[in-house]
Amino acid sequence: MKKNHSIDMCSGSLADKILLFALPLMASSLLQLLFNAADVVVVGRFAGKEALAAVGSNTSLINLTINLFVGLSVGTNVVVARDLGAGRHDNVSRSVHTALTLALASGVAMMVFGAVMVRQLLEWMSSPTDVIDLATVYLRVYFLGMPANLVYNFGAAILRAQGDTQRSLYYLTFAGVVNVLLNLFFVIALRMDVTGVALATIIAQYISAALVMRCLTRETGPLHLNLRQLGLRWRVVRQILQVGLPAGFQGMVFSLSNVVIQSSLNSFDDAVLVAGSAAGSNIETFVYVSMNAFHQAAITFVGQNYGSGQCGRVDKVARQCVGFATLFGIAFGNLAYLFGRQLAGIYAPGEPEVIEQALARMMFICCPYFICGIMDALVGVLRGLGSSVIPMITSIVGACGLRLLWVAVIFPVYHTPSSLYLSYPVSWSITALFHLLFLLVVVRPRAFAKARSNGPAYLSTEGRHPEPTKK
């Protein structure tokens, strides 16, 4: 008997289903991070601190260049989840084929862009002179994997729309093992330094993309992929863009603000500081994905329940996702800082100055990281309700704009790395408050009024969906 990988999000208890959805997604995201972390650890141990800085300092630039298209995968998730909740299976099939076509085309475009522009982008970021050549080589090889990167992300978003986060975990586990083994082989045996770790990463990305495509072609339900039906349906493209473009643009602007902060760190022209910041940033990202899993859960659970007209369950999803993100953020953020010396030592063994720089960064970012989790969970609720422009605007004003203002006004007066790091918790707090106010005052009332005024069959005669019977 074929195993059912979907989750019934529209009836029954929620907390256990949210965890069933989020925990495999969390593990998948951790494995995806290991692609880059394995690169950083291997070069830090076997190729020196210049190679470590070259690989580790590229994260914000990579995120800047791909976040627009990752945002489109969020749009795909929302569109597919809402149609699944409403039972519109023909629409789901059209969305699947359109989304994967969009992923392939975008990936090829990004690959060409990276080959041409990476050196110029690094120069604009004021990359240190002893790092820029190695960083250019790493990024040019890395961008060859963009088609696979985007196909995997769009395919995984499609699977998440029905609650399936387990199979993407299996695929990334296999690809992650391959990545680590190839890292060791290329760097230690063949002495390929940054070229080797980049090559290992893109091979792993193509493996995970092939596995998710194989999974979708074998699906028997509405998510089934027929390669002959690939193509762009412009109505579906518009629906994906309505949510995905603001989400992607928001991610790009967030990454731009991080690039500006990275450039400000580069201005010290200190490879030890850049390497320490890179190590600390990699550790922090592991904490971030533990919270971000509940952002993804909020998008999918809200999308399905809103699609089926169950406004009461939308409120419950919002409360529980924010609560889980807070708990995981407090626990993992403080544990990461508590064991920060040991964790940073993995990236830079025998480099006490690099480790101290990593700890200095983590003190300002890891401990209050739960605020970022609250902010992202609220964004997930807003996007699940179909609102992507408002969180984009509030994020640009509350987080990104404040960070840029901070670099322009505060940093010249307090010219230290610590003053840059402090901008993160301050901007998260302000942005989270903006998101909460817009959700309660603007988006939720309008969305619920629209659901009730449409009067579909799943609403009761009073315009409210009766709460499901507890089992």
Q: What is the DSSP string of 169-213?
A: HHHHHHHHHHHHHHHHIIIIIS--HHHHHHHHHHHHHHHHHHHHH
- Token pair 């626990």 is found at 331
Nearest-angstrom CA–CA distance, 60 and 255: 6
What residues have CB less than 8 Å from 323, skipping those under 6 apart? none
In 219-351, where does DSSP find H-type helix? Answer: 234-266, 271-307, 311-338, 340-347
Residue 471 pLDDT exceeds 50: no
Q: How confident is the model at residue 239 (pLDDT cuts 50, 70, 90)?
A: confident
Longest dimension (CA), the chain: 71
Q: What is the mean pLDDT of residues 382-400?
A: 83
pLDDT at 469: 32
Whether residue 165 has pLDDT greater than 50: yes
Is the pLDDT at 30 greater than 50, yes or no? yes
DSSP string of 402-429? HHHHHHHHHHHHS-SHHHHHHHHHHHHH
Q: How far apart are CA 268 and CA 179, in angstroms?
A: 33
Contact (CB, 8 A) for 285 and 277:
no
What are the domain boundaries of the chain?
15-451
Question: In this structure, are residues 458 and 309 in contact, taking their beta carbons and an 8 Å threshold?
Answer: yes
What percentage of the chain has pLDDT greater than the value 70? 88
Rounded CA separation 42/40 (Å): 6
Note the pLDDT of residue 294: 93
- DSSP line for 213-238: HHHHHH--STT---GGG----HHHHH
Within 13 Å of residue 88, how many CA atoms lie on the same side as its CB?
14
Please state, as a whole number, how many other Cβ atoms lie within 10 Å of the Cβ of residue 221: 12
Higher pLDDT, 154 or 165: 154
Residue 260 near residue 420, CB atoms below 8 Å: no
Calpha distance 388→250 (Å, rounded): 9
pLDDT digits (tens, 9 = 90+) for 277-330: 878 887 888 898 889 889 988 988 888 888 778 888 889 999 999 999 999 999
| Contacts (Cβ under 8 Å, ≥6 apart) of 287 | 329, 332, 333, 336, 366, 369
463/9: higher pLDDT: 9
Provide CB contacts within 8 A for 244, sequence distance 6+: 71, 72, 73, 74, 75, 76, 388
Given this model, what pLDDT does residue 466 score?
33
The DSSP result for 107-163, as a single string, is HHHHHHHHHHHHHHHHHHTT--TTTHHHHHHHHHHHGGGHHHHHHHHHHHHHHHHTT
Residue 458 pLDDT > 50 = no
Express each pLDDT in 90-132 by its tens digit.
788 888 888 899 889 989 998 998 888 888 888 877 777 777 7
Tell me, what's the pLDDT at 48? Answer: 66
pLDDT at site 468: 33
Question: Look-up: residue for tokens 């760190």?
Answer: 265
Helix (H) or strand (E) holding 50, with range, is helix 49-56
Tell me, what's the pLDDT at 151?
Answer: 92
Q: What is the pLDDT of residue 108?
A: 93
Query: How far apart are alpha carbons 201 and 197 in whole angstroms?
Result: 6
Mean pLDDT, the chain, whole residue set: 81
**So what's the pLDDT on residue 31?**
72
Q: How confident is the model at residue 46 (pLDDT cuts 50, 70, 90)?
A: low
pLDDT at 168 over 70: yes
Q: How far is CA 421 from CA 339, 415, 430, 445, in A?
A: 19, 12, 16, 37
pLDDT at 418: 86
Indicate whether 69 pLDDT > 50.
yes
Q: What are phi and psi of 387, to 5 degrees?
A: -100, 110
